[in-house]
Amino acid sequence: MKLKLQKGSVLRHFFNINDFRQEYKIKHNLIEIIVMTVCAVISGADDWVEVEMYCKARKEWLSTILDLPNGIPSHDTFQRIFRLIDPEQFRKCFLTWAREVAKLSNGEVVAIDGKTLRGSKNGDIRGPIHMVSAWANTNSMVLGQVKTDEKSNEITAIPKLLEVLEIKGCIVTIDAMGCQKDIAEKIIAAGADYILALKGNQRNLYEEVKLYFEDGMQNKFKDDEVNHYTERNKDHGRYEIRKCFATSQITWLNEKKNWKNIKCIAMVESTRIIKGKTTVEYRFYISSLEADAKQIGKSVRAHWGIENSLHWCLDYPRSFVIQEELTQCLLGLHCA
């Protein structure tokens, strides 16, 4: 085989996946099928027909790194083989590879959020597929995903996702659905910090934090030690001002004892001016970080990367755009 098992190579992580096919019927090497599929998906393929189309279009390049003794498999072959592969075994192999490629660093923002996949119901009485994903903002990379049947199941899916992630030293951001005590404990146990959005599902805590900042705004935080940070952006006719306020003075917080390592509370005031119309939105958070308004404000802003860079792409199909040098580097593929 032309490929080398070097550090970072996709081969090193997928070579031990069990092949359940009958040996005398095998025409296409399993690891080559996996490599072709990963390349195709990275390039925007959304189904097995598109995987086949991509591989045929890039056969000349693929031939420089793969043997392809019987050419490019059909889309039915791709689909049949991936149906035989143990999905849990594949997921674990993929995650070990993703961790090596991502190289998360201290302070990296890992956003966790759910997304219902458009068009995934297709008449299924169980409803559409809902995916909970972990997104590394700096690397622009999905670190892991867990499928649920309903959006409400994010609460049980997030702890499962956290168990397979290597997030030590990172900052995990989650929207209000994931603001749960056991999730906060799991994040701390993994050696990471959390920033959790507050809404009505944690009503008592939400009301306490909301009232504190409302009173503070009226009094201009005259008697409080509140750290603040302001960021302004102007783009495409929209002017936005984001102010973050954070404080570690939370001894008064009745819910404090129930949240692992909670160190501060924060509020983000977002003012948008579009075509002369002004809207103001307030969002509230709890965090295991110290009251650094700049760090918290930028981390909260980074959380939207999962919406703009991942969820948007799940809704809108992309054309094939393959950069061979980038893919070769990402997969660790090198010709012998």
On whether the CB atoms of residues 115 and 311 are closer than 8 A, the answer is: yes
Query: Can you tell me the mean pLDDT for 127-141?
Result: 76
Main-chain phi, psi angles of 261, to 5 degrees: 60, 20
Check pLDDT > 80 for residue 33: yes
- Binned at pLDDT 50, 70 and 90, residue 335 comes out as very low
Higher pLDDT, 95 or 229: 229
Per-residue pLDDT for 191 more than 90?
yes
Predicted local distance difference test score (pLDDT) of residue 319 = 38
Residues 6+ apart with CB under 8 A from 66: 1, 2, 3, 32, 35, 36
Q: Can you tell me the distance from the alpha carbon of 295 to that of 230, in angstroms, rounded to the nearest whole number?
A: 11
Same domain, yes or no: 267 and 241:
yes
pLDDT value for 157: 87
Asked if residue 63 and residue 138 are part of one domain, the reply reads no
Average pLDDT, whole number, for the chain? 82
Q: What confidence tens digit (pLDDT) does each residue in 218-260 have?
A: 988 887 889 999 999 887 778 999 999 999 999 999 999 999 9
The C-alpha atoms of residue 336 and residue 268 are separated, in whole angstroms, by 54
pLDDT band (50, 70, 90) for residue 189 = very high
**CB distance 212 to 183 below 8 Å:** no
Burial of 75 from C-beta contacts in 10 A (0-12 / 13-18 / 19+) = middle
Statement to judge: residues 148 and 15 lie in one domain: no
- Total of domains in the chain: 2
State pLDDT tens for residues 9-30.
Answer: 666 778 878 888 888 888 999 9
* 180 and 43 both lie in a single domain: no
Q: Does residue 316 fall inside a structural domain?
A: no
* Better-predicted residue by pLDDT, 264 or 308: 264
One domain for residues 170 and 289: yes
Ramachandran quadrant class, 179 (left: phi over 0; alpha: psi -120 to 50; beta: rest): beta
With tokens 């819910």, the residue in question is: 255
* Mean local confidence (pLDDT), 307-329: 45
How confident is residue 5, by pLDDT bands cut at 50, 70 and 90? very low
| Alpha-carbon span 186 to 202, nearest angstrom | 18
Provide the domain limits for residue 42. 10-100+323-331
